[in-house]
Amino acid sequence: MLRRDPNVDLVSFFILRTETDEQPWNRNELSLIPFPTYEIFEDQLHSFDLVIFQNFNYAPYGVEPYLAGIREYVEQGGAFAMVGGDLSFGAGGYAQTPLQEILPVDVPRAESAAPSMSMAMTGDAFKPRLTAEGRGHPITSLLLDARENEARWGKLPALEGLNQIQRLRAGAVSLLVHPTLRVDGNKPAPVLAVGEPGKGRSLALMTDTGWHWGMVAAGEGDDGRAFQRFWENAIRWLVRDPALTLLHIDLDRAEYRRHQSPSIRVRAVHPDYTPAGKVSVALTVTNAEGSGPTNGGRAGNGSSPSPTPALREHNIVTDAQGESHLEIGALPPGAYRLTGRANVDGRAISETKTFVVRAEGKELEDIISRENVLREIAEAGNGSYRRDSLSGVTIRDPREVRVGSQKQVQVWSHPALLFLVLALLAAEWALRRRAGYS
């Protein structure tokens, strides 16, 4: 699925053999390549936007020394997702590894050095249920309308098997839960959970049958797009798609005329994407062609450039729906940058939009009618000027000319054309004879 997405540059590896497999052939007779552990988890790790472990146990492949590096990669702004299966979570032995610190769930510890297969999957077929946070989260938004989206999830095929976990970690959010299984003091067992460790993001899907939402659904007559839409949403959220920020600023258009006032709509949401009411948002309008960077960078001569001066400043507060509207007034022609800053649940967030006010031509620069100018124009053209109505003005009907008959003449069939051609040929012959070219 990801390989078909033109926006995704996928690097994936399918492990076909392990060190414990029987090997009736010599290594030099195999066409398989060794698992590139160092290249992926050390040399090129920070070049990836997202790392996914899909039913993967690290121990047989020498990955354990690199797990701490993956944790640091996520805490510094990377993204990590773990998909369930009989080799994931507790069954994969991740409880006692650095990855436990970035996962949104606490996985059970293995009682022995080799995790028990009984820790892998539990439970029969089930249909996951959306949580309150999941109803508004972009990952689980298969449809735009909230009611239609919840109904859509209810119609998807059942899943089979759920990885056992101990509890949801502090700060993590559960988006899908099991309808009957309970963990951590009678709380619904998470099926899908997300978290934000450090500067990064992580996702845990505690099942390996999410593909049912695609293939099984298609076999039952559904369009089968729910699975693809789910992972598209998940990847966008994990890599921090700008469209999924906690603060949204929308302009009614990208270009304005000189006398038009930009209309602004601001929307703030909590980290679980529920509306954030009573949030103070500071809006600043500056010239887009500023004097230099405002992020603390240094100018070429070693001096710190001064920030671009604010042309307009406004402070607004969101309502119960997390929204607020504002008209900032007309601006002179030019390019402008609108920046909004807010603090949502202790997080400093910002959003920037740019817009243009275009200069009008001379004809449209000042289009307000003036009575004295109109009167002078009328007098110069021997006309009359009327202020409010056409009373007293004689309107004459246009002159009508009726055509009673018509005649069509075919030029090519006229006899005169034949005589003209013959005359030209005769003249050409006579001139040639006279010039001695006979």
Domain ranges of the chain: 2-243, 245-290+307-357
CATH value of 245-290+307-357 in 3.40.50.261, 2.60.40.1930, 3.40.50.2300, 1.10.1370.30: 2.60.40.1930
pLDDT of 356 reads 94
Enter the DSSP assignment of 388.
S
pLDDT of 300 reads 42
pLDDT digit string (tens) for 78-129?
999 999 998 899 988 999 899 999 999 999 876 544 444 445 567 789 999 9
Cβ partners under 8 Å of residue 223, min gap 6: 217
Instruction: Give the distance from CA 351 to its chain's centroid.
Output: 14
pLDDT of 22 reads 60
pLDDT of 234 reads 95
pLDDT digit string (tens) for 383-407?
878 777 767 677 778 888 777 777 7
pLDDT of 292 reads 39
pLDDT of 297 reads 39
Question: Which amino acid type is present at position 270?
Answer: H
Enter the DSSP assignment of 41.
I
Number of helices and strands (H, E) in the chain? 8, 18
Cβ partners under 8 Å of residue 410, min gap 6: none
- As a CATH number, domain 2-243 is 3.40.50.880
Report residue 392 as tokens: 């007293």
pLDDT of 239 reads 92
Give the residue ranges of the chain where pLDDT is below 50. Answer: 112-118, 291-305
pLDDT of 437 reads 78
Across 269-421, the runs of DSSP E, i.e. the strands, are: 280-287, 310-317, 323-327, 334-344, 347-357
One DSSP character per residue, 48-101 reads -S-EEEES--SGGGT-GGGHHHHHHHHHTT-EEEEE-STTSGGGGT-TTSGGGG
Span between the terminal Cα atoms of the chain, in Å: 86
